Amino acid sequence: MKKILIFIALMAQVVLFCTCDKEINHSKLPTVTTTFPTLEDGKLFGGGAITDNGGSNITDKGICIAGRYNISDPFDLDHCYTSINAGSGDEAFAVDLTSLYNEFDVYHGEVFEIRAYATNKTGTAYGDVISVSLTGFGTPSVFSISQNSAIASVDITSRNDVQECGFCWSTSSNPSINNSSTVASWVNNHYRATLTGLQPNTRYYVKAYVKDNYGISYSSEVNFVTYQACPSTVNDYDGNTYNVVAIGSQCWMKENLRTKHFNNGTPIPLVQDSTAWENRTTAAYCYYDQNSYGNHYNFYAVANGNLCPSGWHVPTYDEVFSTLYYALDASNVGGQMKATGTTYWKSPNTGATNSSGFSARGGGYRTYGFRNIRERGVFWTSTPCYSYDYAYVYMMSYDNASLSRFGSSAYDYALYKRYGASVRCVKSNGKESDKGTGIPTHSVKSEEAPQ
């Protein structure tokens, strides 16, 4: 009996050994394929499909992203730039590769490689290597902005067949082609398109998009504000009517201010006497030829804040020498702002075209008496100088085509606050700050005021 039991035990061990040997002999590496990446909602997904688990459970699977320094290096988990795990099990899988936009220099056309992997008890198997060459975007730019349209442009780099490039926009952040969109054309090495149907004085968010082998991809987002709609005229408190012109993003009066009241109804004292004018340190106005040149105001009237009609203001230095300056041809800004001919300017009235419609006249300025009539048009800004007694002005002259600063060189070419100068009002934009940020850094022609 004992011999029989020993025999049975030996047979059981043989059967167990054979079973294990059979399992070992029949277990193999899984079979996995790498699926072509796709773009969904702006995200890049790559993955794989397991067509054979090799006879045992899949314990690990995911995507290996190449980071080989030498192309001869093996492309496996030990030589990945990084890997993204997708869990376990036999099901097909996909992982989010969007973070690779930041890891690789996609804009300059860098190609990265992905490879699916799957692991069972026998080991790790790999799918085919797929090269990923996404479309790279530069940062979009928006220019030629008006009340109802703008032009958008972008550089792209792609190793795929670009099926379509365009722009999409919305009044909310993160636009897509489900919002307003237009197809772009290749112009001067950029993709460019006109955005139409925009509303005045409204902020828009813009992205470039590309349709290529992977689907639809988007650039980073930029935003801009359309120009405000300009009225044809504006009235001051006294009922004087002024024509209005749009220059770039701004609405300007085409005539010099001639009101006798602040916009709250408070009278502005008229001071014509030269001695009284030069000694005055509170708001006042005077005039040389009111019909031709409007009134001259001291800076104390400007600083009141209510000199212009309600909803309008005296421009800051920045609004003149940045916003206005850059809306015109930098080589001839003053010429584009001066009225033509020699009725309101001395000859030769150099460079005068009035192409901006500003229609500046040579009203000079007021110290003890009136100076430079028909020679210079001097206008206040609302920006004080670092010196308590001076503030900045802008000026055009009969003998050159520049837009200049004018005043005392000892005070950064600012004008004495007790002096009188003309005023042009600009419409306040309710969605943008009217406050200047200081003196711009670009070069501006300056001229000394006679004392």
What is the tens place of the pLDDT at every residue in 358-378? Answer: 999 999 999 999 999 999 999
Query: Do residues 20 and 57 touch, judged by C-beta distance below 8 A?
Result: no
Distance in angstroms (rounded) separating the CA atoms of residues 176 and 180: 8
Q: How confident is the model at residue 3 (pLDDT cuts 50, 70, 90)?
A: low
pLDDT of residue 22: 46
Q: What is the CATH class of 31-132?
A: mainly beta
pLDDT of residue 313: 97
pLDDT of residue 439: 55
**Could you tell me the residue ranges of all domains in the chain?**
31-132, 136-225, 233-448
Pairing of strands 365-366, 446-448: unpaired
180, burial (CB in 10 Å: exposed 0-12, middle 13-18, buried 19+): middle
What backbone torsions phi and psi does residue 79 show, to the nearest 5 degrees?
-125, 25
Question: Which pair of tokens denotes residue 116?
Answer: 């699916």
Distance in angstroms (rounded) separating the CA atoms of residues 369 and 312: 29
Query: Is residue 268 predicted with pLDDT exceeding 80?
Result: yes
Q: pLDDT tens-digit profile of 182-213?
A: 999 988 778 999 999 999 989 999 999 988 88
Please tell me which of 222-226, 328-332, 441-445 the model is most confident about, judged by mean pLDDT: 222-226
Among positive and negative, which fits the CA dihedral 332, 333, 336, 339? negative
Query: Is residue 18 predicted with pLDDT exceeding 90?
Result: no
Identical fold at 31-132 and 136-225? yes
Query: Do residues 102 and 134 touch, judged by C-beta distance below 8 A?
Result: no
Of 39-53, 263-277, 334-348, the least confident: 39-53
Mean pLDDT of 50-73: 83
Mean pLDDT of 218-230: 90
pLDDT of residue 6: 53
User: Going along 69-226, which residue ranges are E strands?
Assistant: 80-85, 93-96, 112-119, 124-132, 136-137, 141-143, 150-154, 156-157, 164-170, 180-183, 185-187, 190-195, 203-212, 215-218, 222-225
Of 22-26, 72-76, 87-91, the least confident: 22-26
Q: pLDDT tens-digit profile of 432-444?
A: 444 444 554 455 7
Nearest one of 230, 132, 164, 211 to 426, comparing CA atoms: 230
pLDDT of residue 433: 40
pLDDT of residue 275: 95
Pairing of strands 203-212, 164-170: antiparallel
Query: Is residue 90 predicted with pLDDT exceeding 90?
Result: yes
Distance in angstroms (rounded) separating the CA atoms of residues 285 and 295: 6
Q: Looking at domain 136-225, does it have CATH number 3.30.565.10? A: no
pLDDT of residue 105: 52
Task: Name the DSSP letter for residue 134.
Answer: P
User: Going along 249-341, which residue ranges are E strands?
Assistant: 250-253, 285-286, 296-297, 312-313
Q: What is the mean pLDDT of the chain?
A: 87
Distance in angstroms (rounded) separating the CA atoms of residues 311 and 423: 15
At which residue do the structure tokens 């799918």 appear? 127
pLDDT of residue 423: 98
Cα–Cα–Cα angle for 312, 258, 200, rounded to 5 degrees = 25
Query: Is residue 102 predicted with pLDDT exceeding 60?
Result: no
Q: How confident is the model at residue 9 (pLDDT cuts 50, 70, 90)?
A: low
